[in-house]
Amino acid sequence: MTVYAALLRAALAGQAGYRASFALELLGSVLVIGLDFVEVYAVLTQVPELEGLGLAEVALVFALASTGFSLADLVIGQTDRVTDHVRRGTFDVLLLRPLSTLGQLAAADVQLRRLGRLGTALAVLVIALSQVEVDWTPARVGLLVLTPLSGAVIFGSLFVAAGAVSFWLLDGREVGNALTYGSGYLAQWPTGVLGPVLGRFFTFVVPAAFTGYLPALALLGRDDPTGLPGWLPWASPLAALAAAAAAALLWRTGIRHYVGAGG
Amino acid sequence: MIVELDGLSRHFVVRRPTGRFRREKRVVRAVDGISFTVAAGECVGYIGANGAGKSTTIKMLTGILVPTSGRVRVTGLEPVRQRRELARRIGVVFGQRSQLWWDLPLAESFRLLAAIHRLEPAVARARLDRCVDLLDLAAFLDTPVRQLSLGQRMRGEVTAALLHAPRLLLLDEPTVGLDIVSKEALRAFLTEERRVAGTTILLTTHDLSDIERLSDRVVVVDSGRVVHTGGLAGLAAAAGVDRVLVVDLAEPAPPLEGVPGTRFLSAEAGGLRQHLALTGSAAAAVAAVSARVELRDLTIAEPDIESVVRRLYHRAAATRPAGS
Ligand SMILES: Nc1ncnc2c1ncn2[C@@H]1O[C@H](COP(=O)(O)OP(=O)(O)O)[C@@H](O)[C@H]1O
Ligand SMILES: [Mg+2]
């Protein structure tokens, strides 16, 4: 752990020489999520409810999913750099050290501006929680704490999977970004708005619904209008584990396809 | 054995567009059934022309590339499966690819590597001090790596690869592009490192002098196959390529036939400059020549590695049974 901390410090020291304005970068990061929220706000002032949820409740869905996503983006969003490492052959260097490749990638390319997004997501979460009615029980408190973490694992798995794709497709970055940022965007909405097919896809194939919508239902004590069982929201950690296992397998397989660059 | 390769192959599939929608698939046999071993303490030169498969082999030894077929063991480990364990036992330098932290001072890279390899601070300090001393790093320890000259950076890379006292040092073209002084410093350092630490070395190079100065033995590859293994002495001879002694004389002289350890090749400028093929030691030949005539200047032209390899390859092709 101390090794990765040292790598992290080194990365930040290295970036310091290039950073034009950290404040500006941070602002940009806040704006991205801010605009996403404006969209939620705008829709919910036009229609009173989405899938039976009002503005404050949809904001809770939004905040839970965004917190998980921002955490994942901060820790492992750097996998979008895999394409460059593969193209230039610099992935070699990561493989030559007695460390995990993902750990090195996370530490070496860390982007602190992503803290802006995480901070904003947490702020929306606090505000949303103050506006909704929750019958707090120890289990619900536990779920509230666990949700951003399992959300981060689920989105982190998507980031890793998207990075792994670069080992096969050199032009895979756009596909990868569509998968990660696309899922992150959709997860901010009640899953039902996606329609039956896409809704099930983003629940059982890409488990995005487990990061915001389903935990929000459990906190609010509501049933899913599309008929998903009431215990399902409580299975978020399991969904996270399954996603992580699948991503790890994909990553390992991807590394074995790494061919490097000549020289 | 520190390194064991048995029928090791690596093929690459390259796709080339041949029309608007069609793409042609072609298999490049970069490494095509290579077997050899390196014993503890040896220094083996792994040589061959550009594209012969040297780097691909090295990458399989380090666990970067997965072999297509065959067996590879490095310090007894299976490189891909036991990559992290292996990384603690080997040091690697790629002439073309830096392993240092580009934006940080050189010293900071060493500090990070010591942390990565979990070296005791005292041990790391002692090893680093020795490298700083022998490789003359002190003047640029605080310079960001991106500002170093190639020669300075290369000395840094070698130090980085040796900091954790690896059993095996893999060097892929460590002297490519270096000036004479840096090359010489590096060779002297590696010789010393072998003497003191007994580090096993496998090195690829384009420079025959690297091989002559450093290695006990060579493995020559061409098109992914081993075409020659053996001692150094035999190398140029086996290839039928000679080193050539070129002497400039104070006065024109008749052809220098029959000088011990040489064979007369040609004369220029009415005998003022003469070319002699060396069949023995250069020092003895120079002494013998200067006993006969007055020398003004001399140079020794080394055969280049490409022509050595080409000759060996044709030899191997000629003796290979037909149809194989
Ligand atoms: N990643 C790759 N994809 C396709 N072909 C490759 C790749 N790496 C190497 N090759 C090919 O394999 C052969 C051997 O390359 P290499 O091992 O780099 O040679 P050397 O180091 O001896 O110059 C060359 O023909 C090269 O073009
Ligand atoms: Mg090479």
Q: Domain residues for B73? A: 3-15+26-236
Check whether A167 has a pLDDT greater than 70: yes
Residues of B in contact with A260 (CB under 8 A): 59, 64-65
pLDDT number for residue B322:
46
pLDDT number for residue A180:
93
**Same domain, residue pair B186 and B290:** no
**Same domain, residue pair B145 and B269:** no
Tell me how many degrees the CA angle A151-A157-A160 measures, rounded to the nearest 5.
Answer: 140
B308 in any annotated domain: no
Neighbours of B295 (CB within 10 A): 13
The pLDDT tens digits of the residues spanning B200-257 come to: 999 998 887 888 889 989 999 999 999 888 877 666 666 666 778 888 888 888 888 8
Ligand 2 centroid to residue B308 C-alpha, Å: 17
**Same domain, residue pair B104 and B166:** yes
ipTM at complex level: 0.87
Question: Chain A: which residues have CB within 8 Å of chain B?
Answer: 2-3, 6-7, 10, 13-15, 17-18, 89-90, 92-93, 95-100, 256, 258-260, 262-263
Count the helices and strands in chain A (H runs, E runs): 12, 0
Task: Indicate the pairing of strand B69-74 with strand B273-278.
Answer: unpaired
Number of domains in chain B: 2
**Same domain, residue pair B157 and B259:** no
**Same domain, residue pair B219 and B264:** no
Question: What is the reported pTM?
Answer: 0.86
What does A186-235 look like in DSSP terms, one character per residue? HTTS-GGGG-HHHHHIIIIIS-GGGGTHHHHHHHHTPPPTT---TTGGGG
**Same domain, residue pair B229 and B264:** no
B313 in any annotated domain: no
What is the three-state SS of A53-90?
ECHHHHHHHHHHHHHHHHHHHHHHHHHHHHHHHHHHCC
Which of these three, B187, B213, B236, is where a domain ends?
Answer: B236
**Same domain, residue pair B170 and B287:** no
Per-residue pLDDT averaged across B296-300, rounded? 85
pLDDT number for residue B261:
80
**Same domain, residue pair B199 and B289:** no
Q: How confident is the model at residue A252 (pLDDT cuts 50, 70, 90)?
A: very high
- For residue B192, the surrounding DSSP H or E stretch is helix B180-197
Tell me which DSSP letter residue B67 carries.
-
B317 in any annotated domain: no
Alpha-carbon distance of B316 to B17, in angstroms, equals 35
B315 in any annotated domain: no
**Same domain, residue pair B113 and B95:** yes
The pLDDT tens digits of the residues spanning B105-150 come to: 999 999 999 999 999 999 999 999 999 999 999 999 999 999 999 9
Alpha-carbon distance of A58 to A212, in angstroms, equals 9
Residues pairing with B264 in the sheet: B276
The pLDDT tens digits of the residues spanning B2-50 come to: 999 999 999 999 888 777 777 788 999 999 999 999 999 999 999 988 8
Neighbours of A147 (CB within 10 A): 27
B310 in any annotated domain: no
**Same domain, residue pair B222 and B273:** no
* Dihedral angle, C-alpha B75, B80, B85, B86, nearest 10 °: 40
Task: Indicate the pairing of strand B90-94 with strand B69-74.
Answer: unpaired
**Same domain, residue pair B291 and B173:** no
Residue closest via CA to ligand 1's atom 24 equals: B51
Q: And the tokens for A140?
A: 């619900």
Q: How confident is the model at residue A224 (pLDDT cuts 50, 70, 90)?
A: confident
pLDDT number for residue A262:
62
**Same domain, residue pair B145 and B225:** yes
B309 in any annotated domain: no
B316 in any annotated domain: no
Amino acid at site A223: D
Which of these three, B189, B213, B236, is where a domain ends?
Answer: B236
Residues of B in contact with A7 (CB under 8 A): 112, 116
A110 within 8 A of A194, measured Cβ to Cβ: no
B180 within 8 A of B174, measured Cβ to Cβ: no
Q: How confident is the model at residue B268 (pLDDT cuts 50, 70, 90)?
A: confident
Which of these three, B205, B236, B267, is where a domain ends?
Answer: B236
B8 within 8 A of B71, measured Cβ to Cβ: yes
Residues pairing with B246 in the sheet: B275, B299
Inter-CA distances, A160 with A53, A95, A98, A112, B124, Å: 32, 16, 20, 19, 34
The pLDDT tens digits of the residues spanning B57-75 come to: 999 999 999 999 999 999 9
Alpha-carbon distance of B104 to B140, in angstroms, equals 12
Can you tell me which residue has the tokens 């970067």?
Answer: B64
B100 in any annotated domain: yes
- Percent of residues, chain A, with pLDDT higher than 70: 97
Lining ligand 1 with CB less than 6 A are A 259-260, 262; B 12, 14, 28, 30, 48, 50-56
User: What CATH number has the domain bearing residue B213?
Assistant: 3.40.50.300
pLDDT number for residue A14:
82
The pLDDT tens digits of the residues spanning A120-160 come to: 999 999 999 999 999 999 999 999 999 999 999 999 999 99
B289 within 8 A of B259, measured Cβ to Cβ: yes
Q: How confident is the model at residue B324 (pLDDT cuts 50, 70, 90)?
A: very low
Give the ligand 1 atom nearest the CA of A263: 18
